[in-house]
Amino acid sequence: MSIDFKGKVAIVTGAGGGLGRTHALELAKRGAKVVVNDLGGSVDGLGGSSEAANKVVAEIKAAGGEAISNGSSVTDETAVANLVKQTMEAFGRIDILVNNAGILRDKSFKKMEVADAKIVLDVHLMGSFICTKAVWPIMSEQNYGRIVMTTSPSGLFGNFGQANYGAAKLGLVGFMNTLVIEGKKNDIRINAISPVAATRMTENLMPKEMLDKLGPELVTAGVVFLCSTDAPNGSILQAMGGQFHVAAVMENEMVNLGEKATADDVAANWAKISDLSKARVRPK
C-alpha cells in the first residue's frame, strides 16, 4: 500500500453512507484521522440525525482507525465553523477536504420549482463553498491541502430532470478552476471526481445487474488518489465500476473575423469556428 495518510487529517462531508462512507473508510484505513460529517437526512434533503455518521465512525474505530463524527449541515456556516473547530481541537490540522454531501430534487425543467433549484444549489455548490472557505485559511497556513469536489456526469454532459443538480455540479468545476489558481502558492490542490456508483441515490435508476458492478469503493480509489500528496491539480476524474478517465473543458483556435465582424460573418464561418478537431485544454 503506497499511498498513505499517516499524520494527515481528513474531513469527508456526507460520509454517513454511499460514496462518502467508502471515502472515509479508505482514508482511515490508510492512516488518516477522519471527521465523518453527515446531516443524516433523506435523498431529497429532508430530516436529519447523527446516527449515520456515528455508525461510520464506529466502523472506522472497529477497524483500528481514528475518527470523530459530526452531524452539521454543510449549508450552515456557523455549524461548519464548529465542525472545523471540532476538527482542530481533536486533531490539530486539516489536510484533506472531500466535498461529497449531496441531495436530489429531480423533475423535468417544466415542472421544477425555483425552490427545488435553490435547495440543490445550496447543498452542493454553497455547501462545498462554505466548507472549503472554512478550511482554506488552515490549509494556506500549513502550505498544504487537498480538496475534492464531487461533480457529476449530469453537470458535465446534462441529464433529463436534473437542471438544478447539473447547474450545481458544473458550478463546482468553475469553483475548482479558480481555487486551483489561487491555491497554487500554498500547495493546495483541488480536483473533482465525477462518479457513477450504486448508492441509495442511484438504486432506483439502474437495473440490479448494473448496480452490482458499480461498487462505491471503485470510485473511492480515484478519490483517495486525488487526496494524496502526489495528486494532480485541477483535474476532473470520471470513475465508474473500475473504469477511469478525465473530462476537460477544451477550446479550439481562434478564427479572426476582423474588427468589422458581423453576425453574418459568424454564420458564414460557423463550420470553422466550431471545428473541435484541434481543440486543447488551456494551460493553467
- Could you list the residues that contact ligand NAI (CB under 6 A)? 13-14, 16-20, 37-41, 43, 45, 52, 73-75, 100-103, 123, 127, 150, 152, 195-197, 199-202
Closest separation in Å from C-beta 21 to ligand NAI: 8
| 165 tagged catalytic | yes
**Nearer CB in complex with ligand NAI: 123/190:** 123
Q: Which residues of 90-126 are buried (b: 16+ CB within 10 A; e: fewer)?
A: ebeebbbbbbbbbbbbbeeeeebeeebbebbbbbbbb
> Of 14 and 145, which CB lies nearer to ligand NAI in the complex structure?
14
Q: What is the DSSP string of 164-177?
A: HHHHHHHHHHHHHH
d(CA 22, CA 39): 17
- Retrieve residue 81's grid coordinates: 465553523
Task: Indicate if the alpha-carbon torsion angle 214, 215, 221, 222 is positive or negative.
Answer: positive
d(CA 58, CA 65): 9
Catalytic residue among 5, 91, 165, 175: 165
- Give the DSSP letter of residue 243: E
Q: Which is nearer to ligand NAI, 72 or 144 (CB)?
A: 72
**CB nearer to ligand NAI: pick between 221 and 257:** 221
Least distance from ligand NAI to the Cβ atom of residue 279, Å: 25
Q: How far is the CB of 204 from ligand NAI (least distance, A)?
A: 12
- Which residue number places its CB atom closest to ligand NAI? 18
> In the bound complex, what is the minimum distance in angstroms from residue 197's beta carbon to ligand NAI?
4
Please state whether beta strands 66-70 and 33-37 pair in parallel, antiparallel, or not at all (unpaired). Answer: parallel
- Confirm if 74 and 103 have CB atoms less than 8 A apart: no
Least separation in angstroms between residue 97's CB and ligand NAI is 13
Q: Which one, of 187, 176, 100, 89, lies nearest residue 145 by Cα?
A: 187
What single letter denotes the amino acid at residue 150? T
Q: Is 1 exposed, middle or buried (0-12, 13-18, 19+ CB in 10 A)?
A: exposed
144 versus 191: smaller Cβ distance to ligand NAI: 191
Would strands 9-12 and 33-37 be described as parallel, antiparallel, or unpaired? parallel
Catalytic residue ranges: 165
